[in-house]
């Protein structure tokens, strides 16, 4: 801790903080334009100047200068105010000030500062820049005439997103932010550059001319896509979401990807269901909720004990819990998650717990088995941070070159499907060299001997990777202090071997990412249940879940609750219009096991109900009040189990990454026009 004096106030702050951070702590209001705490110090706009006693220079930029013990800082003085005004005046000579038609107006830093510093006239002659506005890029409109060249977009794109799509070009007054050869954007479209732009130079096309920001209602939501569980702010007018911004607090710390940022319009797809449908003579006919509920109550009562339910891992914890209680107490039937959660039960078998995002950031050696930029982009940001800022070693293990490859210290290109083999080979190398953490293994694990026996038999290069490369990766891994292993939607066997590799090093957390927002919640509530009951059930209640047509044959009664009339829904006897996660309150459990609250950000279509309402209301009709969801305690590591596993009959599934695409896309993203625009 160091102490410094800010405007006469003594402030204590940790060593390494900047003067700006100290002024914030002191409650002083030092303006900034180019500063962002996530980015490396840059010092371009010079608006954050302060005065420092005992220095040669008149002013000191507070955002780039480290605070030191005993500093005496003045954040305001006539000279400082004059210098800041000069900077604003200079910025305004070529700024259009077209606030009335600028989407940023109302939360524009330039506008705010011009107001705050009372600049009603300018000593300098206008010299407007006249750069063509980029209307062609998808999703993002770039009006560089409004750009103040703070460099934030270029820096976030490079430092955080590791894309470097835009950068400074030219010098002097001709300097601007440009793409290669001034072409349209062809990037990951995370839109973080829009969020970070302090002015209206970068704006979302989805929001263009939709509303003034002061008309917007902000709601804290959790991203409905993958289970990084990014904390976002949904901004709506008249109950319709117009834009989504990343929140600076929360797991993502301001990060967001194309899906979370732009993919919200799936809820406004034209084919959203708006009223219940009942099958009549083979045709689905619109009906009232009462009719539908009555029919369900009577059929379900008849089929008691013989109805099976599947729930989507995108439902809230409250919904899944209620569904489970409903099935247990009322229908006395089976319930399972529609998507396999075997990887999570495999994790339980190993005894490991779930890794957290911040551990990736602080890791010194990351072993990556997935292209996160495609599946879980914001987790990918943590890797960029660890490698680029903290010099972590990245080991990429993949059948193809992926985006992260260029950051990799070691890249092991394996034959398709050989992830398990290569981990076994790495473990074999570690055990042969006797590099494992024997004390930990003795005290906290079981099953080391059989594992040792199994893996040390490996001699062939079955993974397709040379011995030297494996040895090098093994060495990087064992020599690190805080290694992480990252998997995304893996097979259960891959989880087992990765778990063993972690246990060898005395590590107890696996970073296990998933594609669906609440898989961990679904697993915590339901476990990974066998879905064999589907075939024998006489009735089915499918919530946001689809089944192949064969599985729906010969069922006496099928209810489907969904957003759209899916193929499965069209086979149902009753179809219920459900609400999407952006339209309801509740909690999701992210990949770390963090339970996060999401809020109603958009009005649902008028006839739709949330699945929680649907189930509670039927239960009520059946004369039963369901208990409320109670948070499930996080599992902590107690004992680790080595689970010797071999690669057996490798099947390459359809979503096995044999080519890299912009982002993983599924049922809901395909309903988003915005996402489809950039899906190629």
Partner 1 sequence: MEQYRANLLICAGTGCVASGSLKVKQALEEEIIKQNLQNEIKIVLTGCNGFCAQGPLMVVYPEGIFYQRLTPENIPFLVEEHFLKGRPVESLMYTPPAEKKVIPAMCDIPFFNLQVLRALRNRGLIDAEQIDEYIARDGYLGAAKALLEMTPEEIIQEMKDSGLRGRGGAGFPTGIKWEFCAKAKGEIKYILCNGDEGDPGAFMDRSVLEADPHAVLEGMVIGAKAIGAHQGYLYVRAEYPLAIERLEIAITQAREYGLLGKNILGSGFDFDLEIYQGAGAFVCGEETALMTSIEGKRGMPRPRPPFPAHKGLWQKPTVLNNVETLANIPQIILQGGKWYASLGTEKSKGTKVFALTGAINNIGLIEVPMGIPLRQIIYDIGGGIPNKRKFKAVQMGGPSGGCIPEALLDTPVDYESITQTGAIMGSGGMVVMDETTCMVGIAKFFLEFTQEESCGKCVPCRIGTKVMLDKLEDICAGKGQEGDIELLEDLAQDIKDASLCGLGQTAPNPVLTTIKYFRDEYEAHIKEKRCPAHSCLALLKFEVIPDLCKMCGVCAKDCPVEAIKWEKKQVAVIDKEKCIKCKTCITSCKFMAIE
Site residues (vs ligand SF4, CB under 6 A) = 95-99, 102, 104-105, 108, 110-111, 146-153, 156-157, 161, 163, 165-166, 177, 185, 187-193, 196-202, 223, 225-226, 228-230, 252, 256-257, 259-260, 376-378
Q: Check residue 87 for interaction with ligand FES (CB under 6 A).
A: no
The candidate with the shortest Cα–Cα distance to 262, out of 542, 671, 680, is 671
Tokens 């039927």, located at residue: 618
Q: Check residue 233 for interaction with ligand FES (CB under 6 A).
A: no
Contact 333, 308 (CB under 8 A): yes
The one among 94, 294, 345, 603 contacting partner 1 by CB under 8 A: 94
Q: Check residue 91 for interaction with ligand FES (CB under 6 A).
A: no
The one among 9, 17, 25, 46 contacting ligand FES by CB under 6 A: 46
Q: Residue 48 binds which one of partner 1, ligand SF4, ligand FES, none, with CB within 5 to 8 A depending on kind?
A: ligand FES
Q: Check residue 2 for interaction with partner 1 (CB under 8 A).
A: no
Cβ nearer to partner 1, comparing 61 with 657 = 61
From 144-152, 246-254, 307-315, 430-438, span contacting partner 1 (CB under 8 A): 144-152
Token output for 388:
């680029």
Distances in whole angstroms, Cα of residue 290 to Cα of each of 487, 584, 606: 46, 22, 15
The DSSP result for 470-498, as a single string, is HHHHHHHHHH-SSEEEEEES--HHHHHHH
Rounded distance between C-alpha atoms, residue 223 and residue 226, angstroms:
7
Q: What region, left, alpha or beta, does residue 221 occupy, with left being phi > 0 and alpha being psi -120 to 50 degrees?
A: beta
Q: Are strands 586-589 and 595-598 parallel, antiparallel or unpaired?
A: antiparallel
Tokens 């982002």, located at residue: 663
The one among 2, 39, 90, 415 contacting partner 1 by CB under 8 A: 90
From 43-51, 218-226, 574-582, 622-630, span contacting ligand FES (CB under 6 A): 43-51
φ, ψ at 113 (rounded to 5°): -70, -40
Rounded to a whole number of angstroms, the minimum distance from the CB of residue 387 to ligand SF4 is 17
Token output for 462:
């079955």
Q: Check residue 124 for interaction with partner 1 (CB under 8 A).
A: yes
Three-state secondary structure call for residue 351: coil
From 40-48, 234-242, 496-504, 582-590, span contacting ligand FES (CB under 6 A): 40-48
Cβ nearer to partner 1, comparing 45 with 344 = 45
Rounded to a whole number of angstroms, the minimum distance from the CB of residue 482 to ligand FES is 32
Q: How many chain residues are in contact with ligand FES, going by CB under 6 A?
A: 12
The candidate with the shortest Cα–Cα distance to 493, out of 659, 386, 601, 643, is 643
Cβ nearer to partner 1, comparing 32 with 587 = 32
The one among 6, 47, 307, 678 contacting ligand FES by CB under 6 A: 47
Ranges within 148-207 binding partner 1 (CB under 8 A): 148-149, 151, 167-168, 170-176
The one among 6, 19, 48, 543 contacting ligand FES by CB under 6 A: 48
The one among 2, 5, 39, 43 contacting partner 1 by CB under 8 A: 43
Contact pattern for ligand FES over residues 57 through 76, marking x by CB under 6 A: ----x-x-------------
Rounded to a whole number of angstroms, the minimum distance from the CB of residue 427 to ligand SF4 is 30
Cβ nearer to ligand SF4, comparing 309 with 379 = 379
The DSSP result for 319-345, as a single string, is HHHHHHHHIIIII--EEEESS--HHHH
Q: Check residue 127 for interaction with partner 1 (CB under 8 A).
A: yes
Cβ nearer to ligand SF4, comparing 127 with 270 = 127
Contact 89, 65 (CB under 8 A): no
Q: Check residue 153 for interaction with ligand FES (CB under 6 A).
A: no
Q: Check residue 520 for interaction with partner 1 (CB under 8 A).
A: no
For 81-107, give one letter per residue: b (16+ CB within 10 A) or e. Answer: eebbbebbbebbebbbeeeeebbbbee
Cβ nearer to partner 1, comparing 123 with 630 = 123
The one among 11, 22, 28, 45 contacting ligand FES by CB under 6 A: 45
Q: Residue 175 binds which one of partner 1, ligand FES, ligand SF4, none, with CB within 5 to 8 A depending on kind?
A: partner 1
Cβ nearer to ligand SF4, comparing 378 with 431 = 378
Q: Residue 166 binds which one of partner 1, ligand SF4, ligand FES, none, with CB within 5 to 8 A depending on kind?
A: ligand SF4
φ, ψ at 49 (rounded to 5°): -60, 145
**HSE-up of residue 520 (Cα within 13 Å, Cβ side):** 30
Cβ nearer to partner 1, comparing 304 with 390 = 390
Rounded distance between C-alpha atoms, residue 638 and residue 482, angstroms:
19
Tokens 């805080």, located at residue: 482
Rounded to a whole number of angstroms, the minimum distance from the CB of residue 31 to ligand FES is 8
Which residues, including other chains, have CB under 8 Å from residue 215's CB and lie 6 or more apart?
A: 237
E strands, 281-436, are 283-286, 307-311, 334-337, 353-354, 365-368, 393-398, 410-413
Cβ nearer to partner 1, comparing 193 with 428 = 193
Q: Which own/partner pairs from 131-135 qualify as long-range (CB within 8 Å, at least 24 positions apart)? A: 131/176, 134/184, 134/185
Three-state secondary structure call for residue 55: coil
Rounded to a whole number of angstroms, the minimum distance from the CB of residue 229 to ligand SF4 is 6
Rounded to a whole number of angstroms, the minimum distance from the CB of residue 599 to ligand SF4 is 16
Please tell me what DSSP assigns to residue 241. Answer: E
Q: Check residue 61 for interaction with partner 1 (CB under 8 A).
A: yes
φ, ψ at 151 (rounded to 5°): 80, 0
The candidate with the shortest Cα–Cα distance to 242, out of 200, 205, 201, 189, is 205
Rounded to a whole number of angstroms, the minimum distance from the CB of residue 131 to ligand SF4 is 11
Rounded to a whole number of angstroms, the minimum distance from the CB of residue 63 to ligand FES is 3
Angle at 414 between CA 413 and CA 416, to 5 degrees: 125
Tokens 């001319």, located at residue: 209
Q: Check residue 33 for interaction with ligand FES (CB under 6 A).
A: yes
Token output for 608:
């739709």
Q: Check residue 52 for interaction with ligand FES (CB under 6 A).
A: no
**Can you list the alpha helix ranges (DSSP code H) found in 76-204?**
78-93, 109-116, 152-155, 192-196
From 29-37, 88-96, 172-180, 589-597, span contacting ligand FES (CB under 6 A): 29-37
Residues at the contact surface with partner 1, assessed by CB under 8 A: 41-47, 49, 57-59, 61, 64-66, 82-83, 86-87, 90-91, 93-94, 123-125, 127, 148-149, 151, 167-168, 170-176
Residues at the contact surface with ligand FES, assessed by CB under 6 A: 32-35, 43-48, 61, 63
């Amino acid at each position: 801790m160091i102490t410094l004096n800010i405007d006469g106030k003594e402030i204590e702050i940790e060593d390494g903080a900047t003067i700006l951070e100290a002024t914030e702590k002191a409650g002083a209001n030092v303006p900034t334009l180019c500063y962002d705490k996530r980015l490396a110090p840059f010092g371009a706009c010079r608006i954050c100047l302060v005065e420092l006693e005992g220095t040669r220079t008149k002013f000191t930029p507070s955002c780039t200068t480290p605070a030191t013990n005993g500093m005496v800082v003045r954040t305001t003085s006539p000279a400082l105010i004059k210098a800041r005004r000069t900077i604003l005046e200079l910025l305004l000579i070529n700024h259009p000030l077209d606030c009335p038609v600028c989407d940023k107006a109302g939360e524009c830093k330039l506008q705010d500062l011009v107001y705050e510093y009372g600049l009603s006239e300018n000593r300098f002659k206008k010299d407007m820049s006249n750069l063509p506005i980029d209307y062609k890029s998808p999703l993002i409109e770039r009006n560089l005439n409004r750009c103040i060249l703070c460099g934030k977009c270029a820096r976030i794109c490079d430092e955080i997103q590791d894309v470097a799509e835009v950068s400074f070009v030219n010098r002097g007054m001709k300097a601007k932010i440009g793409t290669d050869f001034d072409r349209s954007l062809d990037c990951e479209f995370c839109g973080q550059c829009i969020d970070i732009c302090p002015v209206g130079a970068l704006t979302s096309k989805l929001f263009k001319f939709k509303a003034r920001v002061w008309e917007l209602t902000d709601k804290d939501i959790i991203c409905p896509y993958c289970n990084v569980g990014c904390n976002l702010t949904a901004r709506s007018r008249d109950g319709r979401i117009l834009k989504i911004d990343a929140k600076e607090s929360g797991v993502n710390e301001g990060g967001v990807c194309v899906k979370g940022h732009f993919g919200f319009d799936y809820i406004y797809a034209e084919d959203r269901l708006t009223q219940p449908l009942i099958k009549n003579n083979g045709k689905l006919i619109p009906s009232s909720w009462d009719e539908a509920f009555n029919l369900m109550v009577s059929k379900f009562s008849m089929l008691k004990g013989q109805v099976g339910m599947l729930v989507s891992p995108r439902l809230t914890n409250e919904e899944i819990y209620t569904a489970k209680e409903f099935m247990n107490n009322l229908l006395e039937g089976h319930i399972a998650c529609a998507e396999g959660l075997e990887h999570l039960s495999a994790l339980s078998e190993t005894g490991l717990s779930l890794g957290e995002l911040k551990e990736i950031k602080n890791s010194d050696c990351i072993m990556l088995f997935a292209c996160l930029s495609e599946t879980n982009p914001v987790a990918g940001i943590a890797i960029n941070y660890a490698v680029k800022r903290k010099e972590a070693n990245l080991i990429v293990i993949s059948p193809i070159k992926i985006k992260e490859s260029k950051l990799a210290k070691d890249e092991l290109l394996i034959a398709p499907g050989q992830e398990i083999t290569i981990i076994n080979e790495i473990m074999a190398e570690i055990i042969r060299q006797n590099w494992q953490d024997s004390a930990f293994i003795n005290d906290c694990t079981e099953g080391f001997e059989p594992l040792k026996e199994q893996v040390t038999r490996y001699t062939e290069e079955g993974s397709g990777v040379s011995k030297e490369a494996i040895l090098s990766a093994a060495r990087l891994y064992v020599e690190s202090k805080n290694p992480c292993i990252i998997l995304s939607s893996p097979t259960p066997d891959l989880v087992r071997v990765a778990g063993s590799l972690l246990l060898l090093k005395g590590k107890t957390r696996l970073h296990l990412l998933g594609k669906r927002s609440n898989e961990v919640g679904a697993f915590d509530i339901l476990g990974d249940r066998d879905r064999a009951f589907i075939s024998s059930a006489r009735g089915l209640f499918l919530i946001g879940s689809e089944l192949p047509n064969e599985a729906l044959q010969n069922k006496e009664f099928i209810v489907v609750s969904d957003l759209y009339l899916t193929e499965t829904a069209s086979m149902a006897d009753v179809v219920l219009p459900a609400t999407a996660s952006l339209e309801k309150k509740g909690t999701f459990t992210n990949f770390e096991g963090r339970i996060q609250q999401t809020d109603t950000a958009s009005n649902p279509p008028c006839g739709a109900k949330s699945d929680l309402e649907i189930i509670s209301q039927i239960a009520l009709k059946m004369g039963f009040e369901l208990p409320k969801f109670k948070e499930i305690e996080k599992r902590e590591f107690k004992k680790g189990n080595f689970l010797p596993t071999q690669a057996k009959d490798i099947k390459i599934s359809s979503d096995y990454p044999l080519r890299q695409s912009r982002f993983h896309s599924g049922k809901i993203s395909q309903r988003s026009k915005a996402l489809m625009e950039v899906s190629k």
